[in-house]
Amino acid sequence: MKRAICILALTAAWNCAAFALAPPDSLRLHLAVFKLEGDSVAVEYARPDRPGRFNSVLVLPDRFGVNLGTRQLIRSLAAKGVNAYAMHIRSVAADTSQAYPEVYVDSSDIRLATALALEIVTDSTTGERIAVVGMDVGADIALKIATAVPMFAACIAFYPTLKSSIERDAPKLTCPVYLHVAELDGEFNMARANSLKEILWDNGKKGYVNMYKQAKRFFFNPLHRNYHPVNSVQAWASMLQFLRSRFK
């Protein structure tokens, strides 16, 4: 990548049961610092361990930031045949020791995520299509950038926050949206998801919703106390199926 610097191979000698299939140990994780629009952002990424050009997925983490679960996710995606990138967002809670820290949104994340996605999709070593996956505040960012530019094949959002402006932004979405909603989530519940789905379809946009029974917010984060293994495996499988359909 022409504007990525400080590339570093990272070891991944830990094991995580967050996803249905663990990636092979030989699949390396890398760290790069991208210089974008006079700013910089750290990005961790993994690529398939075979030659060729592959489509890409940009992952935007929850308010706890990039963690072992995020790294396992991008390695698992790479094992399935896509270039996977996790951006270190600035919208990270000040105190991540709490189970539900206050949401903090840094508007620069929207600008940088958009620039990063454009950098990825125009790289000569990648495929032509890119999707974005976001969790919690990362979902807010993902939904926001999916309204800004028509480059995304899909936007997959896990439990957006109360601060999400998606209902207002929905008519401007440029790609299909797949919402993953926890049944016991107090911030983004099924009623709000169904309302959003109606707004999308009324405006000629494609919106899909998957609700996970007995799940709470952060059920997809293996380091959180609300992590739900069964629902996480189901979400992983449905996410892969959706990505395959959008990358055809």
Structure pTM? 0.90
Cα dist from 244 to 44, 98, 131, 173, 217, whole Å: 22, 36, 11, 20, 26
pLDDT in tens, 132-151: 999 999 999 999 999 988 99
Q: Which two tokens stand for residue 63?
A: 């308010």
Q: Which two tokens stand for residue 153?
A: 């094949």
Q: Which two tokens stand for residue 4?
A: 């990525």
pLDDT in tens, 104-116: 999 999 999 999 9
Q: Which two tokens stand for residue 165?
A: 């402006």
Domain ranges of the chain: 4-246
Torsions phi, psi of 76, nearest 5?
A: -65, -40
Helix H or strand E encompassing 112: helix 108-121
pLDDT in tens, 148-185: 889 999 999 999 998 888 878 888 889 999 999 999 99
Question: In this structure, are strands 152-158 and 29-36 parallel, antiparallel, or unpaired?
Answer: unpaired
Who wins on pLDDT, 54 or 26?
54
Query: Where residue 16 falls among pLDDT bands split at 50, 70, 90?
Result: very low
List residues bridging with 115 in a β-sheet. Answer: none
Domain 4-246 architecture: 3-Layer(aba) Sandwich (3.40)
Which whole number is the average pLDDT over 216-245?
A: 96
Amino acid at 237: A
Q: How many residues does the chain have?
A: 248
